[in-house]
Amino acid sequence: MTMTHETSSTDSAPELKTAAFSRALNAGMRRAMEADGHVLLMGEDIGRLGGVFRVTEGLQAEFGEQRVLDTPLAESGLVGTAIGLAMAGFRPVVEIQFDGFVFPGFDQITTQLAKLTNRYEGVLQMPVVIRIPYGGHIGAVEHHQESPEAYFTHTPGLRVVAPSTPNDAYWMIQDAIASPDPIIFFEPKAQYWAKGEIDVSGRALPLHASRVVRRGTDVTLVGHGAMVTTLLRAAALAESEGTSCEVIDLRSLSPVDYGPILDSVRRTGRMVYAQEAPGFTSLGSEVAATVMEKAFFALESPVLRVSGFDVPFPPAKLEGIYLPDPDRILEAVDRALAY
């Protein structure tokens, strides 16, 4: 699939193409590589194989082995090499094969990559993107369905984002690659095969903006990644029962764009945050606390959270119990309305 960027007039219809989430990522990386010869991709099996999820399929054949590198199974060395390349003027994009595999490279990310720009007082930039497929819904084994977002949002010096639609995947990967700062780019595995329209005529939102995806009046539902789809399903069911839910896609996990969230909560008076990750000291905890601080007098009930349980991710047969579903979200909506 070839995608071009064209500037359209304000009175013309946007140029739309339909693609799966994974193909939108592929097209976004291709466009970034075409625009800048310093962009290169690195990861385990991303070249000839095209990655486990085929996100980089065809890119090595197009750009060569010097720009799409198959690396050894060594995440610490992979991230460390990317740091060195960034110091030399390149823009490396690193693929971590699965979420649970990032931890061998965690030290390099949190103690080196995140801190180097500050250590050099801003003189040295670190334009490194770490792509991490994350989350459940694929029936995989241990270390393949985790949601480690909070580790990285807790680390100063890192920017953390998570697209939920093909359009966001296409534009956000390009914005992340162009950023002078290190970006942790979480890709919801459950969305890889989801298809949607891509407006290739121009991006609609900045990289770190949250987005209202469904308007409502009674309760604000907030989440990111694959959870946005679950929230939309819950909102549709709630509407059939007479409750109007507004749904907000966080998109950027660090920094968080609180403007649309606070505006919504001040209108609805209620909020439910949903995530796949365990709830204790999580991103949902931070968002809930901030909303309570900044919109306290608008709230008609406490901010409620729906999350994975505080246990290691279970075997595939139990993931349906572990992961939040529309029923658990609607139960929280009912509790919020009952106050």
Please tell me whether residue 17 adopts helix, strand or coil conformation: strand
Any idea which residues carry the catalytic annotation? 144
What is the per-residue pLDDT across 238-275, written as a single tens digit (0 to 9) for each? Answer: 999 999 999 999 999 999 999 999 999 999 999 999 99
Q: Of 173, 199, 225, which residue constitutes the final position of a domain?
A: 199
Q: What is the pLDDT of residue 10?
A: 41
Across the strands, what pairs with 131? 95, 185
**Same structural domain, 248 and 189:** no
Q: Can you give the pTM of this predicted structure?
A: 0.92
Confidence of residue 73 (pLDDT cuts 50, 70, 90): very high
**Is residue 299 scored above 90 in pLDDT?**
yes
**Is residue 112 scored above 80 in pLDDT?**
yes
Q: Of 199, 221, 245, which residue constitutes the final position of a domain?
A: 199
**Same structural domain, 42 and 168:** yes
**Same structural domain, 193 and 258:** no
Question: Are residues 227 and 239 in contact, defined by beta-carbon separation less than 8 angstroms?
Answer: no
**Same structural domain, 292 and 146:** no
**Same structural domain, 269 and 166:** no
How many domains does the chain contain in total? 2
Q: Report yes or no on 94 lying in a domain.
A: yes
Domain that holds residue 162: 17-199
50-53: which pairs have CB atoms within 8 A and are 24 or more residues apart?
Answer: 51/95, 51/97, 52/97, 52/98, 52/133, 53/22, 53/133, 53/189, 53/192
Question: Are residues 55 and 26 in contact, defined by beta-carbon separation less than 8 angstroms?
Answer: yes
| Structure token digits, residue 322 | 């572990």
